């Protein structure tokens, strides 16, 4: 989950020598930064799948899974602005099998919630733990049914401390999208099915606007096709009726999947997903609503390049971020003739009443095999993207980044050159990113030293 930031983040880059001026994307993918990453895990266990979020004062928390000899933990470390990282701490119960898939969300006042999946040998369940500034972590709670099989958790927390956790659940069809709502005054609600309960639904994603409106996107299979649906919740009423947002081709929605969703401060949402296109190759499609909590448009639209040639590959793993001016940035991986790149497109609102997507541009280095881009966007139109990428001989994966500096005259051309931030001699994966109103940026990832997977951090203050 990515919160919206009312900030001017990247002005500090010029002082740090990191501002990448007026690039067209790409660049020298072997060029690394001058900053040394910091290990934030214990170094004695295998750390994987880190997540991170940050408050308005530059304090951040990273959460990750650690596994050793078949047992699993959830661990966390706290970053204090002006001080740095502390010591890792375990936030789950005693070691358990199948502890994985951490998700974490923090609001601007520093309240945060982590959720994860955890098994008992027979079932997989959702656990949660709450962080309060000054009080540290509470005790982990079971928030799903104890006799369930769950997967794909996601979490978002609003400015007033209310949070929504979602996941998909079911031992046999239909699988359902289930939610639990956290309120500071009453803890977690009983889990509730929010999908149709008729067709199987999977892979929910949740986001919340600064105004407190939650949106959940997911894919639902009607027995023929996968369709992308969206629900919204405004904290004062029940869930609204789900909207189908994927339509073409065919009109039933085909096999759409892999959605991501973001909302701006006014409560307007943009959802993007993978969609079968020409000759079955995946494209990136998107749809948006016109009013907060309102219906989405009656047709979706392709964002990625539609390549008619059979040698071309498909598009995958989209991510989206919004700013408070109604602009959206989408990033994704796309294969063309054996080479995969990270692409980006900007959704720009133009007065009076107009809007358009910019032509997709390559923002990765043009070598290796980049994937899993993650984006943070800010109110002045700037953005920061990180991803994992194989080196030229496919022997190791590294963590790269690129940043976008908004230009009102050239909204597609503000990208710099892609740069590596992980150790070139080690294997790295699973980056996550956070940014706050004061211009702090932190990237975390998992990096193997030959013995263990450790969690590393790269910080700009």
Domain boundaries, the chain: 9-460
Angstrom distance (rounded) from CA 378 to CA 6: 6
Where does the pLDDT of residue 260 fall: very low under 50, low under 70, confident under 90, or very high at 90 and above?
Answer: very high
We find that the CATH architecture of domain 9-460 is 6 Propeller (2.120)
pLDDT for 278: 65
- Is residue 64's pLDDT more than 70? yes
Phi/psi region, residue 330 (left: phi>0; alpha: psi -120 to 50; beta: rest), is beta
Cα–Cα nearest to 385, from 427, 346, 424: 346
Tokens 């009013």 label which residue?
A: 291
Is the CA virtual torsion 254, 164, 41, 443 positive or negative?
positive
73: which DSSP letter?
E
List b or e across 376-397, with b for residues whose CB sees 16 or more CB atoms inside 10 angstroms: bbbbbbbbbbbbbbbbeeeebb
DSSP secondary structure of 83-124 = TEE---EE-SSS-BTT-EEEEEEE-TTS-EEEEEEEE-SS-E
Cβ proximity of 357 and 346 under 8 Å: yes
Angstrom distance (rounded) from CA 312 to CA 369: 15
The predicted model scores a pTM of 0.89
Cα 393 from chain centroid? 28
Higher local confidence (pLDDT), 110 or 266:
110
Cβ proximity of 204 and 218 under 8 Å: yes
Average pLDDT over residues 258-274: 90
pLDDT for 438: 67
pLDDT for 176: 94
Angstrom distance (rounded) from CA 318 to CA 418: 18
User: What are the Cα distances from residue 246, in Å, to 215, 333, 337, 384, 450?
Assistant: 16, 20, 27, 27, 44
- What does the block give as tokens for 401? 């980044």
414: which DSSP letter?
-
Higher local confidence (pLDDT), 249 or 204:
204
- Is residue 430's pLDDT more than 90? yes
Angstrom distance (rounded) from CA 86 to CA 42: 11
The percent of residues above 90 in pLDDT, for the chain, comes to 48
Cβ proximity of 460 and 403 under 8 Å: no
Angstrom distance (rounded) from CA 178 to CA 202: 10
- What does the block give as tokens for 50? 């880190």
Angstrom distance (rounded) from CA 367 to CA 26: 9
Angstrom distance (rounded) from CA 385 to CA 461: 17
Highest-pLDDT range among 74-83, 216-225, 430-439: 74-83
pLDDT for 40: 97
Instruction: Assign 448 to helix, strand or coil.
Output: strand
- What does the block give as tokens for 396? 């190791």
- What does the block give as tokens for 183? 């309120």
């Amino acid at each position: 989950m990515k919160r919206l930031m009312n900030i001017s983040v990247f002005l500090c880059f010029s002082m740090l020598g990191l501002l990448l001026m007026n690039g067209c994307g790409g660049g020298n993918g072997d060029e690394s930064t001058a900053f040394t990453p910091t290990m934030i895990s214990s170094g004695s266990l295998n750390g994987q799948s880190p997540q991170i979020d940050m408050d308005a004062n530059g304090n951040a928390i990273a959460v990750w899974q650690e596994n050793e000899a078949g047992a699993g933990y959830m661990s966390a470390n706290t970053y204090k602005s002006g001080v740095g990282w502390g010591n890792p701490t375990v936030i789950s119960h005693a070691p358990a099998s199948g502890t994985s898939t951490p998700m974490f969300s923090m609001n601007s006042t520093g309240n945060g919630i982590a959720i994860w999946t955890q098994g008992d040998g027979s079932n997989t369940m959702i656990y949660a733990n709450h962080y309060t500034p000054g009080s540290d972590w509470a005790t982990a709670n079971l928030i799903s049914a104890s006799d369930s099989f769950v997967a794909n958790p996601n979490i978002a927390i609003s400015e007033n401390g209310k949070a929504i956790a979602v996941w998909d659940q079911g031992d046999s069809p239909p699988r359902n999208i289930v939610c639990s709502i956290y309120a500071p005054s009453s803890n977690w609600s009983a889990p509730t099915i929010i999908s149709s309960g008729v067709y199987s639904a999977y892979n929910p994603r949740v986001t919340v606007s600064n105004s407190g409106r939650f949106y959940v996107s997911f894919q639902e299979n009607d027995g023929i096709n996968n369709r992308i649906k969206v629900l919204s919740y405004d904290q004062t009423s029940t869930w609204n009726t789900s909207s189908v947002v994927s339509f073409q081709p065919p009109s039933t929605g085909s096999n759409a999947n892999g959605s991501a969703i973001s909302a701006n401060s006014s409560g307007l949402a943009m959802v993007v997903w993978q969609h079968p296109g020409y000759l079955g190759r995946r494209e990136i499609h998107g749809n948006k609503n016109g009013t907060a909590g309102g219906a989405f448009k009656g047709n979706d639209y392709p964002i990625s390049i539609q390549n008619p040639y059979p040698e071309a590959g498909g598009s995958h793993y989209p991510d989206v971020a919004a700013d408070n001016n109604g602009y959206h940035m989408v990033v994704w991986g796309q294969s063309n003739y054996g080479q995969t790149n990270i692409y980006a497109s900007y959704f720009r609102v133009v007065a009076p009443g107009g809007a358009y997507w910019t032509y997709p541009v390559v923002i990765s280095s043009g070598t290796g095999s980049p994937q899993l881009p993650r984006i943070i966007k800010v109110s002045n139109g700037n953005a920061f993207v990180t991803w994992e990428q194989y080196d030229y001989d496919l022997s190791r994966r590294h963590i790269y980044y690129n940043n976008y500096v908004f230009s009102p005259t050239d909204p597609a051309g503000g990208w710099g050159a892609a740069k590596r931030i992980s150790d070139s001699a080690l294997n790295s994966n699973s980056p996550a990113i956070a940014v706050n109103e004061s211009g702090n940026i932190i990237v975390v990832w998992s990096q193997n030293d030959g013995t263990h997977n450790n969690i590393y951090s790269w910080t700009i203050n």
